[in-house]
Structure 1
Amino acid sequence: MASIEDARVAAERLVSPLGRRWHHVQAVAARASELARAVPSPDREALVQAAWLHDIGYSPEIGHTRFHPLDGARYLRDEGWSRQIVNLVAHHSGARFEAVERGLSSELAEFPFEDNPVLDALVWADLTGPSGQPLLFEDRISEILERYPESDPVHQTWLKAASVMREAINRAEERLARASA
């Protein structure tokens, strides 16, 4: 069974050459560690592993479709990672919405979507800017919409996915508050 360290090593190998994307991934993993109490105890390690691995699909080594959640999930599946980790990477941060924009919904359907506390917490952890800076939800959405032109599938995705992602973050915040009480 893979560990958090295995996830970190794999992410470092695939993402560190990408510059500031590596800073983002490191910050998302740190944030996931902080948010781990928002998920059931047996899922905490999976949350942090998925946080390390969520953007590996940007690596030119494995980025065959140029849709990073799909490329990352396929790579992890082929490398023998758990179904839970593979599906979290496949569906992190509104990937199902972007798959529609890119015409890749049937390909993403290889990986079952599971709306659960771990995915909610991963969405919340991913509210980290491209250089690793923490951002509020509204600031992250604004940053994405400014960075990508209106014609880009990512821009269009976030116009459609923002409210769903906000709901996921609200649920994760509520779970963390209950766990901290």
Structure 2
Amino acid sequence: MLTIPETDLVVHPLCLGGNVFGWTADEAQSHAVLSAYASHGGNFIDSADVYSEWKDGNKGGESEEIIGTWLKSQARDKFVIATKVAKLSTRPGLRPENIIAACNESLERLQTDYIDIYYSHHDDAEVPIAESLGAYAQLISEGKIRYIAASQHTGARLQEALNISREQGLPSYIALQDQ
């Protein structure tokens, strides 16, 4: 197990990505994968609000729903759940109101009252970074998310976000997930 720096999150070194849940793996298959992962000590599960939106008949959020159904029968505090915002076609971007609404929807689908790591799924240059970080600060203060992270951001934008976090006392990204 590893501790993610600057956090109290202790995670398995292999994070289980849930992007196939609800796409190429149905609910039963997905639950079997989740259970097998957990039985081998896995505790770090990643998803996104957009996952499985691309499958005909899906609307997005199917991966979160499947994880949530499985998670409901588990000890929630034994798992580190990460999900993402900004790519779902009905909730694009990192405007504060979108981040907050998308988080509430993810919490419902995941059937939990908090998300351990909430990712900006991609950079949104149209929104000032301080505004997005302010929305994350609100969600942290409300206990809905614990930490934030970034995905698909340039080094320059990550540095800008870190500078703004320090200067304005806003939360900072604790991890980067890139392609």
Which has more radius of gyration? Answer: 2
Greater helix fraction, Structure 1 or Structure 2: 1
TM-score range, shorter chain: 0.3 to 0.5
- Structure with the greater relative contact order (CA < 8 A, sep ≥ 6): 1 or 2? 1
- TM score, norm. by length of structure 2: 0.35
